Amino acid sequence: MKAFFLTFLITLSCTKYAHLSSEGLSTSLKNIEMPLSDLDEITWPVGKWKDAKVSQSFTFIITLPKISPEDFEKIHEQKGMNAWVLRLILNQNNKTQDLGSLYVPLGSKKVFRGHGQNFPNSAAVKVFYSAAYPSERFRFSNCPAFNHRKRISHLSIKNENTVFELSFDQTLNYSDKAQLVEFAPTAFNGGDSLTGEYFIEIAPYNVEKKVILGAFKRIPQYIEVSGEESINVPSCDGVHPENQ
């Protein structure tokens, strides 16, 4: 029991919280860290005899900003923040596309007074090829829809994990339908090709009012898919998925 309590204290003391700064009418969170991790390709055995592999998707984890209970209570009372909203931006062939957004609810004041805990540390994201995105039926096809035959050949996390700052400087409507973060990774449709650069942007959010309380900020690290290769699946030649 003593060992557990000591470990708990060490964990608390090592937590690197962002720093809440208030100067006049200006409020900001400084020294935020949001590293990306656990980047992984999800493969898909295909063909009538599962004789080849293509890429189904890739996944990664976003570490969320850490705020002390006292600072969160101040932000909640002064600004009305009760969640983070994150959006996934794809830069592909010199074109920028917003793939969608997710939101992460944060605990109310009661959470930090012994009534439970709801302060997530991370969010998982999965980016699918369009051939696998619509449903489980699509993802279990022996021969993927839309003649999907691609395999990711180069996948990496780019840039150093450096600290940054978020300002609570404006209130803007955010009407985009954001997905609630749950236990399973939040899914996005990357299209027919997943090559490109994937950026995460974050803003403080009020779920009920559907407003962001500061401009979106792009985090330092991003995902790069720099290569795909075509896979030969002879047993799927001329086969339509609906006829499998």
C-alpha R_g of the chain: 21
Q: Going along the chain, which residue ranges are E strands?
A: 19-23, 26-32, 36-46, 52-63, 83-92, 95-105, 122-128, 150-158, 164-167, 172-173, 179-180, 186-189, 196-206, 211-212, 217-230
Q: How many residues does the chain have?
A: 244
Reported as a single tens digit per residue, the pLDDT across 50-108 is 989 999 999 999 999 999 989 998 999 999 999 999 999 999 999 999 999 999 999 75
What is the pTM (predicted TM-score) of this model? 0.88
How far is the C-alpha of 18 from the C-alpha of 25, rounded, in Å?
19
> How does DSSP assign 11-41, residue by residue?
HHHH--PPEEEEETTEEEEEEE---EEEEEE
Pairing of strands 83-92, 196-206: antiparallel
Give the torsion through C-alpha atoms of 152, 154, 159, 164, to 10 deg: 0
Reported as a single tens digit per residue, the pLDDT across 188-210 is 999 999 999 999 999 999 999 99
Whether 192 and 239 have beta carbons less than 8 Å apart is answered as no
Q: Which residues pair with residue 188 across a beta bridge?
A: 127
Check residue 66 and give its pLDDT: 93
